[in-house]
Amino acid sequence: MPETEDKDQLRERTLARRREVVAALESERGTKVVTLMHRREPWEDESKDGEAAHLTIEDSEFVLMQIRATPPDRPIDIIIHTPGGLALAAEMIATAVKLHPARVAVIVPFYAMSGGTLIALAADEICMEPYSVLGPVDPQIGGWPAAALIHLAEKKPVEMVSDQMLIMAEVARLSLAGVQRFVMWLLADKLPQQAAAQTAEFLTGGYLAHDTPIMLDAARNLGLSVNTSVPGRVYELFETCAFGLCKRPCLATYGMVDTPTTPLRTGR
């Protein structure tokens, strides 16, 4: 019982501190602050260090409710720290970000890979550090890059390809085309049509391994609206997280993910 009480007290103190930081950020920047940060909570079992927290459909519900509750004339800051996750969740959040009438900034102090990058593409501006990273948004089908599955089915004689692989290749083709169209839509009001098409093709077409980091200068070269104005107070949120073992951030899926997680809680 004492151990449970200690964890409950730690949780309450942590959430209270996060509320303070978020309130200060909102006051300083005149925005609504939403967090989408995947880290082990300090009150959780340390054995969870090795588990990859990721973007889930529950995360999208939380973020969508926050955006919906924000007045249309109020800017939004979304702090993202994620390896990615379920494509549907990322696409739903990205759509809400793009459709919010006021300005939306995505703040990436460390990394927003895969689905995190997809959300960032929807924002009016992306705030990064010189060492922060985004990543490709190419679909992953059953753990395999969509482009690789398509190439495999094209290169081998059809009689040497299993029915399952042919089906996966067709799903990959449909998924890749769908994500390319979605990225082009996200960029349509930010880049000329040809530039948007080229950037969408590069980010989705399997030209990079899915965990390849896209840093500040590379993001600028892609035509993305990036800057280095990450508020210092953002890092106070990370002081409330538990840091331990961490895999290289890279995760995208078009299927269900086994490990249920929740984003960083602010108690709001």
- How do residues 208-220 score in pLDDT, each as one tens digit? 999 999 999 999 9
Question: Does residue 150 surpass a pLDDT of 50?
Answer: yes
Instruction: Please indicate, yes or no, whether residues 254 and 234 belong to a single structural domain of this protein.
Output: yes
Task: Using alpha carbons, select from 44, 31, 41, 133 the residue that is nearest to residue 81.
Answer: 133
Looking at residue 254, what is its pLDDT? 47
Condensed to tens digits (0 to 9), the pLDDT of residues 119-133 reads 999 999 999 999 999
Half-sphere exposure of 115 (CA within 13 A, CB side): 28
Q: What length does the chain have? A: 268
Confidence of residue 103 (pLDDT cuts 50, 70, 90): very high
The count of domains in the chain is 2
Q: Which of 190, 207, 224 is the last residue of a domain?
A: 207
Same domain, 98 and 2: yes
Q: 126, 81 in Cβ contact below 8 A? A: no
Q: Which domain holds residue 58?
A: 1-136+211-268
Residues 80, 173, single domain; the answer is: no
Q: What percent of the chain has pLDDT over 90?
A: 71
Question: Over the stretch 152-197, which tens digit does the pLDDT of each residue have?
Answer: 999 989 889 899 999 999 999 999 999 999 999 999 999 999 999 9
CB 87 within 8 A of CB 139: yes
Tokens 């082009």 — which residue? Answer: 184
Residues 108 and 216 grouped into a single domain: yes
Please report, for the domain that includes residue 267, its CATH number. 3.90.226
Q: Are the CB atoms for 172 and 146 separated by under 8 Å?
A: yes
* Domain match, 126 and 249 both: yes
Q: Where are the alpha helices (DSSP H) in the chain?
A: 2-29, 57-68, 87-99, 115-122, 146-155, 163-187, 193-204, 216-221, 234-238
The domain boundary residue, chosen from 185, 207, 229: 207
| pLDDT mean over 30-37 | 95
Stated pTM of the model: 0.85
Look up residue 158 and give its two tokens: 């059809």
Measure the CA angle with vertex 144, ends 153 and 176; round to 5°: 70
Same domain, 19 and 64: yes
Judgement on whether residues 179 and 197 belong to the same structural domain of the protein: yes
Band (42; pLDDT cuts 50, 70, 90): low
199 with 242, same domain: the answer is no
Residue 255 has pLDDT above 50, yes or no: no
Q: Are residues 29 and 149 in the same domain?
A: no
* Mean of all residue pLDDT scores within the chain: 86
The reply to whether 89 and 43 lie within a common domain is: yes
Give yes or no: residues 160 and 254 share one domain.
no
> Same domain for 181 and 215?
no
Residues 6+ apart with CB under 8 A from 53: 38, 39, 40, 82, 83, 259, 261
Which range among 33-42, 69-78, 143-152, 177-186 shows the weakest confidence by mean pLDDT?
33-42
Confidence (pLDDT) at 40: 65
Helix/strand/coil for 263: coil
